Amino acid sequence: MNLLDVENLWVKFPTRNGVFDAVRGVSFTLGQERLGIVGESGSGKSMTGRAILRLIRPPGQVTADRIAVEGDDIMAMSEKEMRSVRGQRISMVMQDPKFSLNPVMRVGDQIVEAYAIHAKSTKADAKRKAMEMLEAVSIRDPERVYRSYPHELSGGMGQRVMIAMMMVPDPRILIADEPTSALDVSVQTQVLRIMDKLVQERGMGLIFISHDLNLVSSFCDRVLIMYGGRIVETCVADKLHEAQHPYTRGLLNSLPRLDVKQERLAVLERDATWRDTDSVSGAR
């Protein structure tokens, strides 16, 4: 059984000038693998992630034929039922820990909160769990970090705390929305490796959303390319250079390469017809 089934997902926003479709008929499945979703700003990749967690509030509208987590249709769930899905079965790591962590709450308390929502436990137990989690993300001084406030931590450490917080309730699926975009390059690989290790250890599924094609292709098993709210291509990560769709080729060609001599860096040409073709299915 797939960890996640998404069939025909649409996300619409009513605006003054009509309805804006952020996500148009996206379908894909996720197993115990690392799935990358790549696209430029406005391609709908982040919206897809948030729609899965049903975080999009009115006036935004989310419709889908089916969104199932381990077989359970979450579109049919009430808000209360959905709350037990969030965090416990699907979690999300966001871009910048400076903003995505509560600035006036100690970091340890925030991790404990993530755990205590879904598990009945004593305070001591929860604290122990949180400390374990901090160690699992390679934080060397968990006691000190536990007591810190988010602004006292570096970007890399903050993101690791975020990962710890999102993994502590032991979810099956992790959505990572641009998790390293706000980090220094030197720290990016470290954070990604930690995330990867945890995902593999626990047999989880990972959805990695990014604009960075290089990063995604080196890190994921499969890649979905999104443009204008649709999936325009899917392929296996190490077969990326065999991609067919002109947009993907355009993306690949606009990356500077050290091993091939290039006179000029290619400019991505966009074709208006790409928006109109049907979404490619991202099923395995």
Residues forming the site for another protein (CB under 8 A):
53, 55, 83-88, 91-92, 94-96, 99-105, 113-114, 117-118, 149, 151, 162, 165-166, 169
Q: Give the residue with the Cβ less far from another protein, 20 or 99.
A: 99
Phi, psi for 68 (deg, rounded to 5): -125, 135
The structure tokens listed for 273 are 């017809």
Least distance to another protein from the beta carbon of 175, Å?
9
Place of tokens 């996720």: 30
CB of 269 to another protein, least distance (A): 29
Q: Which residue has the tokens 């979450």?
A: 74
Considering beta carbons, is residue 114 or 194 the nearer one to another protein?
A: 114
d(CA 215, CA 69): 27
Phi, psi of 156 (to 5 degrees): -65, -45
Q: Looking at beta carbons only, is 23 or 182 nearer to another protein?
A: 182
How much of the chain is helix, strand and coil, in % rounded to 5? 40, 25, 35
Where helices occur in 43-106 by DSSP H, the ranges are 45-52, 79-85, 97-100
204 vs 251, which CB is nearer to another protein? 204
What span, in angstroms and rounded, lies between the C-alpha atoms of 175 and 205?
Answer: 8
Please provide the DSSP assignment of 81-94 as one string.
HHHHHBTTTEEEE-
CB of 149 to another protein, least distance (A): 5
> Do residues 180 and 159 touch, judged by C-beta distance below 8 A?
yes
CB of 208 to another protein, least distance (A): 16
Give me the least distance between CB of 113 and another protein, in Å please: 7
In the bound state with another protein, the residue whose beta carbon lies nearer, of 151 and 197, is 151
- Residues 176 and 209: beta-carbon distance below 8 Å: yes
Which residue number, 85 or 213, has a Cβ lying nearer to another protein? 85
- Least CB distance to another protein at residue 192 (A): 20
| Radius of gyration of the chain, Cα coordinates, nearest whole angstrom | 19
Query: Cβ of residue 80: shortest distance to another protein, in angstroms?
Result: 9
